[in-house]
Amino acid sequence: MALCLKQVFNKDKTFRPRKKFEPGTQRFELYKKAQASLKSGLDLKAVVQLPPGESINDWIAVHVVDFFNRINLIYGTMSEYCTERSCPIMSGGLKYEYRWQDDSKYKKPTKLSAPQYMCMLMDWIEMLINNEDIFPTRIGVPFPKQFQQVCTKILTRLFRVFVHVYIHHFDSIINMGAEAHVNTCYKHFYYFIREFSLIDHRELEPLVRMPWRGEGEGEGVGWAQHSWVWAGAGL
């Protein structure tokens, strides 16, 4: 999948520089193991499972960074179609609106355009994954107690990028010939967050009726019928 994504999307249009793993570290070895499994054509449900003997926090950290890189690449290429005029509100159709809160500049849930929301999101994630107190890279340094909680918040917000791109820019995905690659990336993300119960099931409702999902995949078929306004940092 990684090779396909790079062929379809313009790596020069990433929103933020790719976060790389330091060669020789355990995190780098886990990343290589995960990538090898992806390229081998294994079932994605099996690919996301924790390898025997490995730390769950290391496994989650590797995937959070990798998903950030992939989604950053996807949206960076799509961003020319996502403008202040076309997307004045960060939303997933008429039923879902996402507001931004970061306890810094935006202390209360604030309505932003999709491009503004994406900029705030990528800056915020980049700050977190580069913070050694949250994503330690030195050998012997433990993860903080709130690590998985932070990852849940990151992954929840990254999921909203998929929601916006699928609902508002799917025609552009098709025109780029990228549908299969974006679907694969999303399926990998979806199976990972479900494997470790990392996102509240309510957040998944906008995409519960994805066309690639067959029988037995879980939450049914078709678009959800509820209206929500998510408060960003609250989840």
Cβ-based neighbours of 60, under 8 Å, separated by 6 or more: 147, 148, 151, 196, 198
Measure Cα distances from 17 to 92, 129, 204 in Å.
Answer: 26, 12, 28
Q: Is 63 annotated as a binding residue?
A: no
Q: Is 151 annotated as a binding residue?
A: no
**Cα(198)–Cα(221) distance, rounded to whole angstroms?**
22
150 within 8 A of 134, measured Cβ to Cβ: yes
3-state secondary structure of 71: helix
Check the annotation: does 164 bind a ligand.
yes
112 to 88, 90, 94, 171: CA distances (angstroms): 7, 6, 15, 23
The token duo for 1 is 């999948």
User: Per-residue b/e over 199-216, b at no fewer than 16 CB within 10 Å?
Assistant: beeebbbbbbebeebeee
Those residues with Cβ within 8 angstroms of residue 10's Cβ, 6 or more apart along the chain or in another chain:
76, 77
Cβ-based neighbours of 40, under 8 Å, separated by 6 or more: none
Residue 188, marked binder = no
Name 228's bridge partners: 96
Alpha helices per DSSP H over 22-146: 26-39, 44-47, 56-78, 114-129
Q: Which residues are annotated as a binding site for Zn(2+)?
A: 82, 87, 164, 169
- Binding positions are 82, 87, 164, 169
